[in-house]
Structure 1
Amino acid sequence: MQPGTLWSMGDYASNGDRWAAASRQLAETTVRPGMDVLDIACGPGPFAIAAAQAGARATGLDAAPKLLEVAKRRAGDAGVAVEWIEADMTAVPLGDAAFDLVASAFGCMFAPDPEAMAAELVRLCRSGGRIAVLAWTPESAFGSMGPMVGPYLPGGGGSPIERWTRAESVTEVFAGLPVRLQFAVRTVDVVWDGLDHAVGDITENNPAWLGIRAAVEPTGRWSDLESELRELFAARGRTESGRFVLPVDYLETLAAKD
């Protein structure tokens, strides 16, 4: 399935809104007025819109036209101008060294070839500029999903996402490229109306989980996997003021280009 088709499934816009605070925080700490900023795999656009609100010339790129339509509408509602491009993040149709900041919040981690993705990020960034990537840590509730799902999938296997989740492996991904790396682990609270709502929202709206469900249901093991997801969330989350709160850690990679 093509990335644009996959990520147009379900309702990732409302799904991803629950952790969009991480994108906005990244914009607060990295964007300055007058910068040229690219948001790769921008989804419904929280980072690109926040960058534009901070005074940057912002561009958002995604392969899913459905998500870009949401992003355009939201940018209009916010009263900011953002250039939106429908394209594959692994082959961006833009020139070399075009941006002061190239960012991807929980997006480029899905690229099938992490080294090629890192090279593309570096290609797009100007000398003296920065690259910023967010990815869920392996120990977090979201990062734990991959190892949990693997045994249920026909063929099993690892995931390229894992390469972006630890400082050591990210360093390997950028090996040989003209960048200096620094890392920080941060946390975003993901909030739902309750545990049932959390499990339903992930399994019914998240495009990646819709793909997982389509692969697992024919094996007759979907209910077992869904139960494991519920147990994972219950163990990691908490009920607070009538809501279910799931703290999720993520790795922030900042790469300064020489």
Structure 2
Amino acid sequence: MTEIAEEIKARQRKIWTLGNYSEIAKVLQPASIAVADACGIGSGTTVLDVGTGTGNLALEAARRGATVVATDLTPELIEVGKGRSQEENLSIEWSTADAEDLGFEGDRFDVVTSVFGAMFAPRASKVAEEMLRVTKPGGLVGFTSWAGDGFIGMTFKLSTEFAPPTPVGYDNAGSWGDEGFARERFEEHGAEVEVRSGTVTWDFASLEEARSFIETNAPPMVAAKQAMPPDVFAEMMKGYEALQIEFNRGTGGRVTIDSRFLMTLARKPA
């Protein structure tokens, strides 16, 4: 079992070096602001951001005066995050870490967060357990994932029709799209859980621009294009464009999509 998990993580680590995640992160920034608000992050708060990517939440927390540690499985993303913090003269401790085995002492942080990051780990229960372990008693975990009935959640479902199946006994990012699943992963480790909903807006001048943006920048999409025969990838992209049309609220050819996400807030018992 452990060997399979490590193989999945190795693939994930490679995938997130592809494309240009920094461009995706710009669109996702509002979710980090929402999590920081919901978790009450401010001056003096000790924060661990898990699966930080290029550091959206970590930087937002540091701007608010928090003491921040930011981790990710992919060193290349950490380096981008470091550069961003240096540009803003923000003090953040950056390190490479596995969401299933963070390596920090228990009961250390007031708030532990993951914004569209740790949901990609292969064992969801271990992620929830580990995030709660390093949270102080009475502290809070803030975790976002794409809602299964939202635009990105539906693209996850679409991709499963074309990608190899997730090994039996393991989870994928789409698993967290179910509110009950997200709630249960933290409740089974003793947390008091609230699940909220929010949206991230994708806005493009046209369907063509939207497709080009995702196909060029989104690491999983770049990986899929590299791995699939051209005709199979083209078929998947037809499905993707159909979802764009279904969720689009833009007019005059513009593509404006509000993609729903879940924000799971898990309070560790005091």
TM over 0.5: yes
Return the alpha-carbon distance in structure 2 between the equivalents of residues 206 and 181 of structure 1: 31
| Partner residue in 2 for 1:250 | 261
Asked if 1:222 is matched to 2:233, the reply is: yes
Contact kept in structure 2, 1:163 and 1:173, CA below 8 Å:
no
Give the alignment of 1:46-57 within 5 angstroms.
Answer: 46-57=56-67
Equivalence for 2:7: none
Aligned to 1:13: 22
* Aligned ranges 1:35-114 → 2 under 5 Å: 35-114=45-124
User: Partners of 2:128 and 2:119 in 1: how far apart?
Assistant: 10
Distance 2:115 2:174 in 1: 15
The one-letter amino acid paired with 2:232 is: R
Q: What is the CA-CA distance between 1:154 and the residue it aligns to?
A: 4.0
Deviation, structure 1 residue 119: 0.6
* In 2, Cα distance between equivalents of 1:176 and 1:188: 29
Which amino acid is 1:222 matched to? F
1:163 aligns with 2:175: yes
2:223 alignment partner, one of 204, 211, 229: 211
Q: Which whole-Å CA distance do the structure 2 matches of 1:200 and 1:92 have between them?
A: 35
Deviations 1:166-208 (A, max 9, x none): 2211232224312100011111212234321211221222111
Q: Distance in 1 between matches of 2:152 and 2:243?
A: 9
> Are 1:194 and 1:239, in contact at CA under 8 Å, matched by a contact in 2?
no
Q: Give every structure 1 segment of 4 or more consecutive aligned residues whose post-TM-superposition deviation is greater than 6 Å.
A: none
Contact 1:154 1:215 in 2 (8 A): no
Q: CA RMSD in A?
A: 2.0
Q: What secondary structure is seen at the aligned counterpart in 1 of 2:262?
A: strand
* Unmatched tracts of structure 2, length 5 or more: 1-9
1:240 Cα deviation (Å)? 5.6
Asked if the contact 2:27/2:200 (under 8 Å) is kept, the reply is no
Question: Quick one: which of 31, 35, 43 aligns to 1:26?
Answer: 35
1:181 and 1:151, CA in 2 relative to 1: closer, same or farther beyond 3 A?
same
1:115 aligns with 2:114: no
Q: TM-score, normalised by structure 1?
A: 0.92
Unaligned runs of 5+ in 1: none
Alignment deviations for residues 8-40 of structure 1 (CA, whole Å, 9 cap, x no partner)? 111111122112211122113321210110110
The 3-state SS of whatever aligns with 1:92 is coil
> In structure 2, how many angstroms separate the alpha carbons of the residues matched to 1:178 and 1:233?
39
CA contact (8 A) 2:114 2:142 kept: yes
Matched residue of 1:89: which SS?
coil
CA distance in 2 between partners of 1:24 and 1:174 (Å): 22
Distance 1:136 1:208 in 2: 15
Residue in 1 that maps onto 2:5: none
Q: TM-score, normalised by structure 2?
A: 0.88
Shift of 1:81: 0.7
The aligned counterpart of 1:172 is: 184
- Cα distance in 1, alignment partners of residues 254 and 71 from structure 2: 33
Name the amino acid aligned to 1:189: T
Q: Deviations over 1:52-109 (max 9, x none)?
A: 1111001110122221121111112222111111122221121111100000001111
Judge conservation of contact 1:190–1:247 (CA < 8 Å) in 2.
yes
CA spacing shift, 1:13–1:157, aligned 2, 3 Å = same
Aligned-pair distance for 1:255?
0.5
Residue correspondences, number: 257
